[in-house]
Amino acid sequence: MRQILELDMIHSAIREKIAHNRREIVDEVQAEIGKSRIVVVGMAQNPHCRRARRILDMAGRNYAYLEFGSYLNNWR
């Protein structure tokens, strides 16, 4: 799990920008979490997400997969 800074460690001048950065993606993920028991969120070409989906498929588990960008597009 990725470490997240506490609010008091983030400079006040950028808190608002961080709070709304990519908000549409956060909203979409939260909506899917409300509908699906298992949600995999990833990027194209991400081997870890591909492996997780393969394991879930082999286990016969239903899941939602949301993909946002790739290593070469949107997330440099």
pLDDT at position 18 is 84
pLDDT tens figures, 10-53: 898 888 888 888 889 999 999 999 999 999 999 888 899 999 99
CB 33 within 8 A of CB 26: no
Q: Is the pLDDT of residue 74 over 80?
A: no
pLDDT range class, residue 61, cuts 50, 70, 90: very high
Q: Is the pLDDT of residue 75 over 80?
A: no
